[in-house]
Amino acid sequence: MTDIAIISACILAYSLVSARLSKTIITAPILFVAAGILLGPLVLDWTEIEAASKPTELVAEVTLALILFNDAALIDWPSLRRNRDTPLRLLAIALPLIIIGGAFAAAFLVPEIKFWQAALVGVILAPTDAAVGQAVVTNERVPKRIRQSLIVESGLNDGIAAPLVAIFIAASGISGAVGSDSSWITFMAKELGFGLLIGAGVGLFGAVIIGRFSQAGWISHTYEQIVVAAVPIVAFSFATLVEGNGLIAAFIAGITFGNIARQLQAEVFGFSEESASVLMLVTLFIFGAVLAGPALDELSWQIALYAALSLLIIRPASVAISMIGTGFRLPTLAFIGWFGPRGIASIVFALQVIGTKGLPGSAEIALVVTWTVLLSIIAHGITAQPGAKWYASQAEDIADEDEDAPEHDEVESFFRKAASVAIGEDKPEATET
């Protein structure tokens, strides 16, 4: 109860001055990580949060599940389809390069970890978190095409990384009874298969049921928002219950729900987004208390160099390679390459590593991830506003190059038709005989 009271007091205190602080370079992630460090065991020792505990891991995972669902469900698919080239390059080219570059750097600089553990470091630190540098994606002077690309990248790379984390942990010969080839295959089939199936099923069922009851006027606006927020929790819980990957389930549920439930207004996601925001602050406080605080006494030059390489070289170089042929100027390449902050996803994956009993090199993996995320939260946080302002001045002569696209592609047409029939908006026409 003491931990809950302390975190609640921090949220209250920040809320009272949030508007003032939003105009400065001091961001919410910086403050809550700092509060966690100050109130954690390293300094005042007022909290009793433990890194390797189920409640800690569960809070972080539910936070990421909500974020994954919201990001996937709220993607502006028509706009994305018109401007798909940049985010597609970021996800299909830059993301694998970042993982590979991060893995090789970890294997070279941190000799205590082996091949699969190095790969784990690479994939844990590949996802980005737009919330850490929120001023970048909310500044309307930054071209919409660039903002949309960073938002989509941040929203989708978490979901892509989640199964890879499970695969690399399993490949290390850990995760319960995983040991033989057959048990490893069974484990992965459960993680991926149940995650995909349950996510798609819950997303579809939730969209159809909520759509029908909403049109019938049975759900009040308040509870419409609450029931939408319940969809990713149900998907996450059911998948976890049958030994599937709950994060994958929440992500797939978001994609399915977002495509089926187009008749629902974006405002019904308000409660889900606000819940994710509050839980994000809680997770950042936990990160400061149980990971960042203890890590302050364990910094080596190798880990410091890795963190710097990850932020300053590996991502910018990968982004630059992925953008070959786009015609982007140097300021745009520098802007996209720099603003790839690490955040909630990396923290959640690090807690999963710590919570996996017997994983070789887990302490070293957590330390590398912690320092990279900590440096990112500070560096990307304080540069978000000035960086967005600088790039906006450089990009004022760059117009959005939106290309006309068909009103519906085949996938979207299928989803829309299915939704129309399911909620009773459209009746299949009888064929004449």
CATH number at residue 375: 1.20.1530.20
Place of tokens 């891991």: 57
125, 131 Cβ separation under 8 angstroms: no
Radius of gyration of the chain (CA): 22
Q: Which of 132-146, 278-292, 400-414 has the lowest mean pLDDT?
A: 400-414
- Residue 182 clears pLDDT 80, i.e. is over it: no
The C-alpha torsion from 178 through 181 and 184 to 185, rounded to 10°, is -160
**Residue 151: what pLDDT?**
86
- Residue 54 clears pLDDT 90, i.e. is over it: no
Indicate whether 43 belongs to any domain.
yes
**Residue 423: what pLDDT?**
41
| Band of residue 13 on the pLDDT scale cut at 50, 70, 90 | very high
Report pTM.
Answer: 0.86
Indicate whether 429 belongs to any domain.
no
* 356's tokens: 């996996």
**Residue 359: what pLDDT?**
84
Nearest residue to 71 via CA among 6, 11, 160: 160
Indicate whether 54 belongs to any domain.
yes
3-state secondary structure of 43: coil
Intra-chain end-to-end CA distance of the chain, in Å: 70
Indicate whether 297 belongs to any domain.
yes
What is the percentage of the chain residues whose pLDDT exceeds 90?
55
pLDDT in tens, 263-304: 676 778 889 999 999 999 999 999 999 999 999 989 999 999
Which residues neighbour 176 within 8 Å (Cβ) at sequence distance 6 or greater? 187
* Domain of residue 267, residue span: 2-423
| Band of residue 147 on the pLDDT scale cut at 50, 70, 90 | confident
| Band of residue 72 on the pLDDT scale cut at 50, 70, 90 | confident
**Residue 184: what pLDDT?**
67
Indicate whether 431 belongs to any domain.
no
Indicate whether 433 belongs to any domain.
no
3-state secondary structure of 378: helix
Q: How many CB atoms lie within 10 A of CB 181?
A: 8
pLDDT in tens, 209-268: 998 998 888 998 889 899 999 999 999 999 999 988 899 999 999 989 988 887 676 778
Indicate whether 23 belongs to any domain.
yes
Number of domains in the chain: 1
Q: DSSP alpha helices (H): ranges in 23-53?
A: 28-39
Nearest residue to 315 via CA among 110, 133, 105: 105
Residue 410's alpha-carbon distances to 57, 386, 414, 419, in angstroms, are: 39, 42, 6, 14
